[in-house]
Amino acid sequence: MFCTKPLRMPEPEVRERMARGLQLEGPNKQFSGRAVGK
């Protein structure tokens, strides 16, 4: 379901998972860091 980049962040759990996926990707470093929010 999260094949594409969702603009909305539903739940914190899903958000964390998305952040992990983006971190693994690499090119979305900016978005990944922002999603993690650490």
29-36 vs 12-25: helix axis angle to the nearest 10? 150
Phi, psi angles (nearest 5°) of residue 28: -100, 45
pTM of the predicted model over 0.85 = no
The CB density around residue 30, as the number of other CB atoms within 10 Å, is 9
How confident is the model at residue 20, as a pLDDT?
74
State the average pLDDT over residues 4-12: 64
For the stretch 22-35, pLDDT in tens is: 665 555 555 555 55
Q: What is the average per-residue pLDDT within 6-23?
A: 69
